[in-house]
Structure 1
Amino acid sequence: MSGQKDFSQSRSLPSPQRRNWVWFSLQMLLRFFFVEWLGYRARGHEKLPREGGALLLINHQSHLDPLLVGLPLRRPISYVARHNLFPVPIVGWILRRTYVMPINQNQPGASVIREAVRRLEHGFLVGIFPEGSRTNDGKVAELKPGFAMLLRRAHVPVYPVGVAGAFEVFPRGSCVIKPGRVRVVFGDPFEPPELQDLCQRGREPELLRLVRGRIIQCQREAEQWRRRSR
């Protein structure tokens, strides 16, 4: 099936405004399932720019998170995924055609940072899970410091995003997606002067606290919304 380009390795990038047929088809196929089975709702996504690059910093509750965050948007998000997922049949084919960047978690290096910056400068939305892996208990874990390098180089708006309920419906180690209530909240962008100041070397602990606090704020708002909907 070679009709759709492999964007994970391509040096020429597609339009960051248009969803290709793979992305669009996934959205259409999953919309009914997520809304009916998971009671899916999202808010705040109107805050994102209609064009131009932006970085989304998202808490990581389950394998569903990239789909849940991208579902309400009319433009694609370029995510990072473990490189060992790309050889998996069907999964790898989808990842390579939905703007996903492979990363070796044992040797992350600077190459994925360069590629993420390239896509942001091209005008893509880029989604990062700064916890590094899915939560074990539903709470936002301590953040890995590697994303600070991306913040230093990416001169684009940065948004916190909170996902709630995905851990309950599809926790780590589960093979079955249970019915439930899932909510996603897109927060206000970080103030550029504050981020630039904290991105200075030696201030990483303050930066991690700020970013984690804003993600937790969005996640709590999403959780409260989810509980009110029961």
Structure 2
Amino acid sequence: MAEESKRLPPHRRNLVWITFQWILQGFFGLWLQYQSRHKERLPARGGGVLISNHQSFLDPLLIGLPLKRPISFMARDSLFRIPLLGALMRHTYVIPISRRSASSTSFRAAIENIENGNMVCIFPEGTRTDDGAVQRFKPGFLALLKRTDTGIYPIGIAGAFRALPRGAYFLHPRAVRVVYGEPIPAETVKEYCERGAEKELLALTHERVIECQRQAENWLDPESQK
């Protein structure tokens, strides 16, 4: 039970994350001109599944930065072996997953988080984008939705792939925007799952994330809308 409880974040941020969040808000605000929009669309309480596009290793930080509740992210287990980063991830409730095989332990941890009223964030593309476009979604997260009574909260990130592209070792001073989209209610998710329309739900979620990413990109470059 002690090991299980370590994977379950409280409903409030701990001191480690609050301190780190405060530092990053200043640094990202200056270096990345970071801004976010519509964070109020996430509930103050209760479980949920956040679905986001994946642009860089910064994404979990960018998503959690303006929020006043902890989020459990699912990240590959190899990252936990990196000095400092691994320690930070353990203190910010990251759920390790293996890229070699499906981890029932990680799956159970995600379910427990949601059932205990916490939010879990997943990047269904599975890997970072090369050009900023939202890639095809892998359907694995649908199994999590079928096992929980929760809504989907789409998120779009723009600019992060320019700030920290694949293979980069340094953070470039590029503007980043994050848009939290209109949620897909738990009742809608349940209706799709009950009639066996998982492919339609996958397509709907993909469309919502693409729309959030498009809004974030247009926010970065208003001239592109003309």
What TM-score do the two structures reach when normalised by structure 1? 0.90
What TM-score do the two structures reach when normalised by structure 2? 0.92
1:11 and 2:4 aligned: yes
1:20 and 2:19 aligned: no
In 2, are the aligned partners of 1:113 and 1:149 still within 8 Å (CA)? no
- Describe the superposition over 1:168-199 as per-residue Cα deviations: whole angstroms up to 9, x where unpaired: 11111111111121110001110334322333
Q: 1:168 aligns with which of 162, 174, 194?
A: 162
In 2, are the aligned partners of 1:160 and 1:187 still within 8 Å (CA)? yes
1:155 and 2:167 aligned: no
Provide the C-alpha distance between the structure 2 equivalents of 1:107 and 1:67, rounded to a whole number of angstroms.
26
2:214 aligns with 220
Q: What letter is aligned with 2:105?
A: S
How far did 1:154 drift?
Answer: 1.9
In 2, are the aligned partners of 1:16 and 1:123 still within 8 Å (CA)? no
Provide the C-alpha distance between the structure 2 equivalents of 1:85 and 1:201, rounded to a whole number of angstroms.
38
How many positions carry a matched residue from both structures? 222
- Describe the superposition over 1:105-125 as per-residue Cα deviations: whole angstroms up to 9, x where unpaired: 111233322110100111111
1:137 and 2:137 aligned: no
Q: What letter is aligned with 1:63?
A: F
Provide the C-alpha distance between the structure 2 equivalents of 1:94 and 1:163, rounded to a whole number of angstroms.
22
- Describe the superposition over 1:28-49 as per-residue Cα deviations: whole angstroms up to 9, x where unpaired: 1111111111111001111111
> Matches of residues 26-175 of structure 1 in structure 2 within 5 Å?
26-175=20-169
The 1:52–1:229 alpha-carbon spacing in structure 2 relative to 1, beyond 3 Å, is farther
Provide the C-alpha distance between the structure 1 equivalents of 2:176 and 2:72, rounded to a whole number of angstroms.
22
How far did 1:204 drift?
Answer: 3.1
Provide the C-alpha distance between the structure 1 equivalents of 2:44 and 2:181, rounded to a whole number of angstroms.
16
How far did 1:126 drift?
Answer: 1.0
1:190 and 2:163 aligned: no
SS of 2:40's equivalent? helix
Provide the C-alpha distance between the structure 2 equivalents of 1:195 and 1:219, rounded to a whole number of angstroms.
21
Q: Percent identity?
A: 47
1:178 and 2:179 aligned: no
Provide the C-alpha distance between the structure 2 equivalents of 1:132 and 1:103, rounded to a whole number of angstroms.
11
How far did 1:207 drift?
Answer: 2.1
Unaligned regions of 5+ residues in structure 2, if any?
none
